[in-house]
Structure 1
Amino acid sequence: MNAYDEGSNARPVPGEPATAASGGPPPDGHPAPGDPPAGPLPRTGIAALSLRYQIAAALALAVVAVVVCAHLALVFLHVAPSNTVTKQHGQAIDEWVYPEFEQNWKLFAPNPLQQNIAVQVRAEVRAEDGSIGTTRWYDLSALDGEAINGNLLPSHTQQNELRRAWDFFVATHDNENRPNGLRGALSERYLRRIVVLRLDREQAGGPGAVVHQVQVRSRTTNVPPPKWSKEQVSDKPVVRQLPWWLVSPADRAAGTRPAARTEASAR
């Protein structure tokens, strides 16, 4: 009798595939007789959640979809030519779009922007010892430029928040810094809160100092023409300085340091 005959002590021959008799899977890939059937594949994603969480996830996705569709519709109506809807609901559309989502064509013809505008701010602060002083001018545009320089993926806030706030203010005020429309007060409050937040980030006046007033100015210089151009432009900067603005507790509460929030709550 051959030593590798079938039986309880049978062993596979080296170099040959295992068979059902040798305890391995059959060569056709089907389960051997007596093996337990394969179970269902595990669920993934939302399907793996319980019914309650599936309903919550579906509702959240539906809300996000509705908000996105509504936003796209409002932005479309904002840039679309005047029509019946914009005439009846123009104020509601503007309140949603301005100032964060405003659309404009300044990058393109016929009047592309050919100036460098630096937004600067200084503040009157009260130090921890009670003394009142005025800080130096902080060039907020230069600080944004430093944060963007060398950054492959700069944030939208770094690139546009300050610039769009200043554009919004200029568009809603005349040369005497008087509001020329209903959005003048909104643009002033928006710009003021941004500069207060930025001053807090720079710890203007030192740790614990509280900002009482701010003054904003812009320094505009023309972009020099190329060497081959005969165009002549002035290289002297033009400064536009705004009056001092009192900082309200609501302005300080928009993300300022705890010392400022403590004083605001005590008032």
Structure 2
Amino acid sequence: MIVVTGANGQLGRLVIQGLLQKLPAASIVAAVRSPDKAQDLAALGVQLRQADYTRPATLDAAFQGASKLLLISSSEVGQRVPQHRAVIDAAVRAKVGLLAYTSVLHANSSPLGLAAEHLETEAMLQASGLPYVLLRNGWYTENYLAGLAPAIEHGALIGSAGGGRISSAARADYAAAAVAVLTSTQNLAGRIYELAGDSAYSLSDLAAEIARQSGKAVAYRNLSEADYKAALIGVGLPEPVAGLISDSDVGASKGGLYDDRHLLSELIGRPTTPMAVQLAAALKAGA
């Protein structure tokens, strides 16, 4: 039995869909905080169980009988360590055979501020005695395409990444990697996968590609971290989220989102989705 935490999120849903292509639905557990919001997952035939990172008793019930568990990192930055500790402790009690964790690219050397909680979670896993696999995910291309409409409207893509190269991939590519690990018949305990897209680009490259495909004049405008954060807050993002995004862009300028080892495409058995392909789909969807 395979349990996927955070199964109602964007990555979690893609993982569930991928598992359904390889395994009987009854052997898959979608662990979610609010089951009433995930009834469509239950309709697929998977088991739906409540799993609230802040309520350990729900985790014990959710993980019962699990042979493998995917811990999708909490979206609550600043609260991840205690929440992940609760999941790991419950997995130990459930005697889970393998825990896969979605960490961040180069967590042990990353200049990104968000890496700290991931690195602490990795240390907790190492100390737990559980067999585990680290899926150190790079950036989702979707993170940048979310700002596509205003970039075209204002003729400017803004950020703080300078000329930093970004080896992003589609969220679906990272989901496929998780599925590959969860369904593997090999003993993968102890593996660390540094996962990133096959090709890299700068935000200037992204702006040029947006201009090419949209037919609109779009250029990249590099801002200081403080100015970029202020701009994000100005368009309505909460301060912590704006801080996370601006810090991550500065991290990208230092090489934090770059990797050229192609381990992601090797793991999933196909090339990762090119930025230009995702951009075309995003433009079509927004047309």
Instruction: Give your verdict on TM over 0.5.
Output: no
Higher helix fraction (1 or 2): 2
TM-score (normalizing by structure 2): 0.22
- Whichever of the two has the greater Rg, that structure is 1
| Structure having greater relative contact order (Cα 8 Å, sep ≥ 6) | 2
